[in-house]
Amino acid sequence: TKRRRQTGEQAEQEPTEDARTSEQSKSAAHQENGKPPTVLNQPQSTCKSKGGRPSSSKGWQMVRRVKEDHGQAIFGLAVNLYDPERGDLVATTGSNRATIYQLASDGGVNVLQVYTDADRHESFFCCAWSVEPATRDPVLAVAGQLGIIRVINCALQAVTRTLLGHGNAVNDVRFHPHEPRLLLSASKDESLRLWDVAACVCVALFGGDQGHRGEVLSVDFHPDGDRFASAGMDNAVKVWSLACCRAAVDRAAAGIGAPPS
């Protein structure tokens, strides 16, 4: 289980546009805080024999190693499986940073962008890829200790939306497999929320009597998009249906808006 530090700050209860000043994504060569991540190019064996010595019997090799200089744990990593044309993009989250890498076909690793949150008390735990529905720009959602979800348009190199509503840290985020505007979030406040990112509203809240009795650590969609599962500190795995909130999702998509249900 990842260690989470409890924060005394309380997120606002209604999603709004970005209410706080955030730094734009910037190239690694122009970071304000520290040097760009260091890419080490020497191949290294990842196999060891029973005696602890390196073994190449299975032929596995680590071909690149990236060292990020923020000195904190890297809690989140996501490969861009949402957009086949940009399947070479990988994002990581650690400290108050999100870093976007491009994996070259020869095994090389290039740093494309680094987003640093303006709040030094932020610590990002998770990230997830999607696309902007209208433009197909790559979109990365990041969240963590402060319970605030930042949505970064990587083509614009800017935070385009901020989702507020959770009352504690956000441990995991996942986009819907077929509807890129829908995002699930799992929180230390024992709830899950479904967001319409394009409309910047929360359309459903999953918790209460049927919800988790502890911190929600992980969430993911079924490939059919009609169900999702969550797991938490209460030793429970819960399976949820989106059928109950489909009307709210449709209202948000139509621009009518919908309160949490």
pLDDT, tens digit (0-9, with 9 covering 90-100), for 149-185: 999 999 999 999 999 999 999 999 999 999 999 999 9
Contacts of 59 (CB under 8 A, 6+ apart): none
Residue 84 CA, chain-centre distance (Å), reads: 19
pLDDT above 90 covers a percentage of the chain that reads 63
As a whole number, the mean pLDDT across the chain is: 83
Token reading at 17:
């546009």
- CA 6 – CA 235 distance, rounded (Å): 20
Q: Would the pLDDT of 105 be above 70?
A: yes
Dihedrals φ, ψ of 41, to 5°?
Answer: -95, -10
Q: Do residues 170 and 217 lie in contact, with contact meaning Cβ atoms separated by under 8 Å?
A: no
The side-by-side arrangement of strands in the sheet containing 182-187 is: 170-175, 182-187, 192-196, 201-206
Higher pLDDT, 42 or 137: 137
State pTM to two decimals.
0.77
* Residue 55, SS3 per DSSP: coil
Determine which helix (DSSP H) or strand (DSSP E) holds 97, and give its type and residue range: strand 97-103
